[in-house]
Each structure stands twice: as structure tokens, then as C-alpha cells.
């Protein structure tokens, strides 16, 4: 399935509850899609430059960040912007939501910021990277890992603002991150490597060879998907590429999709079986 409607490059994707996906583009819009029908359900406008990152939030909310240095919080039901978060001084390339409802962001200004999505206040500014922060993931204990073009991953204690550990990626600028189980993360680099890290010990436990990696996503069975010159599926137990996308992808981002996301007690149980990736102006869904 190919979802068409954007008029410029798709820069960001995120899976939403109930077979939906959001895409952000250089055309400055966010589109909400049904992955069941392929229909564009709504278009969110407000950013003045390209939409770099998206993150789903509780209560039908969506966070977006942009080259315009702002983060916007959207109500996806009535399609309105309910908050605008300001403070970064350059493009905001990454977002990650924490279990307590707060939001983290990573920017070209080299900082990571922690935000209240209720008040819009910046609660912490985390400094340490020397180049752009390209990617963020939240760990199970609410700590956050950031990846940067300076070739490092940093594990942050969000409560204290301290950098707990710095992981050195010798393969060059870190372009993407994905959270795995057991306090592990996968990183993708511009130099074409996918690496798995133990965030407790700081050890790199697995290295996979790919083309320059633009995005990573984890499926429910533990397989890792990467997008580079094409989409690849990796078995992390064996370190082998077990499948390759049917179409060469010129895209920038990738997201794991759910088949029938279930809600229980206000929380969503993710069962990711499908992959969405950007291909120029379109979003492609791969079963």
C-alpha cells in the first residue's frame, strides 16, 4: 500500500492507535492516515518549516517537531494545536515520550530537553553532545538514550539531568536509535553499521553491516527493521538479514505498525507486525 498526498519529502513517521499512522513532511504539514483503507483522515498545519519528528502521546495527542525550532502538541480528534513548546535554538530532529507523560527532544543545538506536556515548561536541559542530536529513545526506567552526529550515545538520568554513561560509536555519526528489551538499544550510523548496545555495561554486543542507515524500528517478535538503500529485517539472535524489502527505498524514516492495537486500562499494547517507510513524497506500508 502506498499513501500519497504530501507535496514534498516525508521526513517523519509514527504509528498511532487503531491502525493509523502520522507522517510529517518538508511541505510543513502532518497527515493522519488509516492503514486499513489508505485514506488521509486529516491534515494538521501550523509549522512554518519541515516536520522533522513525530511522537504519539496519551489521550489522542501527537507531538511534532520542526526545523522552525518548535514542538507542537496536537489533539488528533479535533485536529487542533493545543500547545507550542519553545526553547531550542535550532532544528529539533528527535522526540521521545516518557511513561510519566513528559516529552524529550533532541536538537541541532546539541542539547536534549525535557518538557511537561501539561504546562509546556522546559523542565531540564541536558548538555554534553558536541554536535547535533539526531535521535532519542526512552528506556523502561524512564532514562533516555540520545544519539548524535558526534559519534556517541549518551544515557541520561532524567530526574537528575546527569549523563550516566557515554557509548562511543566508532562507525561515525549516529543517525537513528531503537529501544530493545533488557536495557539494550540499537543504533544506526551514517557509515553503514547497525549496532546493539548494552546500556548498563556500555558494551557493543552486535554489529551488522548495512548501507548508511536512516531509520530503525523494532517488530513485536524482536526483529529489527532498518531503512538505508532498501528496507532490511534483521534477526538479532543470529545477526543475519532475514528479509529485504520488495522495493528499493529512497526514504528517510521507518516505523513499525500495529495490527489492531488493543487498549487496556488507558495503556496500549503494541503488536507490531507491519512496517511503514517513506519513499520520497509517499508512505509505503509493507506487510
Q: Give pLDDT, residue 61.
A: 96
The confidence band for 33, taking pLDDT boundaries of 50, 70 and 90, is: very high
- Per-residue pLDDT of 181-230, as tens digits, reads 889 999 999 999 999 999 999 999 999 987 889 899 998 888 898 888 78
Domain range annotation of the chain: 2-286
Assigned fold of 2-286: Methylamine Dehydrogenase; Chain H (2.130.10)
Taking 80 as the threshold, does the pLDDT of residue 279 lie above it?
no
For residue 263, the model assigns a pLDDT of: 29
* pLDDT 10s digits, 228-251: 878 889 999 999 998 776 555 555
Evaluate if pTM is beyond 0.75. yes
pLDDT digit string, tens, across residues 50-89: 999 999 999 999 999 999 999 999 999 999 999 999 999 9
Residues 145, 146, 147, 150, Cα dihedral to 10°: -130
Confidence of residue 252 (pLDDT cuts 50, 70, 90): low
What is the band of 266 on the pLDDT scale with cuts at 50, 70, 90? very low
Amino acid at each position: 500500500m502506498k499513501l500519497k498526498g504530501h507535496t514534498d519529502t516525508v521526513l517523519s513517521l509514527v504509528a498511532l492507535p487503531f491502525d493509523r499512522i502520522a507522517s510529517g513532511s518538508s511541505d510543513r504539514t502532518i497527515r493522519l492516515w488509516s492503514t486499513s483503507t489508505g485514506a488521509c483522515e486529516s491534515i494538521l498545519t501550523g509549522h512554518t518549516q519541515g516536520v522533522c519528528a513525530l511522537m504519539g502521546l496519551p489521550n489522542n495527542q501527537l507531538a511534532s517537531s520542526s526545523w522552525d525550532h518548535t514542538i507542537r502538541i496536537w489533539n488528533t480528534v479535533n485536529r487542533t494545536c493545543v500547545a507550542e513548546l519553545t526553547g531550542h535554538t535550532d532544528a529539533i530532529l528527535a522526540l521521545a515520550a516518557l511513561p510519566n507523560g513528559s516529552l524529550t527532544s533532541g536538537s541541532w543545538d546539541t542539547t536534549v530537553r525535557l518538557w511537561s506536556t501539561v504546562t509546556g515548561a522546559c523542565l531540564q536541559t541536558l548538555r554534553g553532545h558536541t554536535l547535533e542530536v539526531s535521535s532519542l529513545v526512552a528506556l523502561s526506567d524512564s532514562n533516555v538514550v540520545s544519539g548524535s552526529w558526534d559519534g556517541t550515545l549518551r544515557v541520561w538520568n532524567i530526574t537528575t539531568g546527569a549523563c550516566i554513561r557515554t557509548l562511543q560509536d566508532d562507525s561515525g555519526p549516529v543517525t537513528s536509535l531503537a529501544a530493545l528489551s533488557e536495557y539494550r538499544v540499537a543504533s544506526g550510523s551514517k557509515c553503514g553499521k547497525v549496532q546493539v548496545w548494552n546500556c548498563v555495561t556500555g558494551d557493543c554486543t552486535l554489529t551488522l553491516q548495512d548501507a548508511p542507515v536512516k531509520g530503525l524500528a523494532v517488530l513485536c517478535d524482536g526483529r529489527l527493521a532498518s531503512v538505508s538503500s532498501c528496507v532490511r529485517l534483521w534477526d538479532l539472535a543470529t545477526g543475519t538479514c532475514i528479509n529485504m524489502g520488495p522495493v528499493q527505498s529512497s526514504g528517510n524514516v521507518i516505523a513499525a505498525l500495529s495490527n489492531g492495537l488493543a487498549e487496556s486500562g488507558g495503556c496500549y499494547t503494541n503488536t507490531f507486525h507491519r512496517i511503514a517507510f517513506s519513499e520520497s513524497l509517499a508512505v509505503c506500508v509493507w506487510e
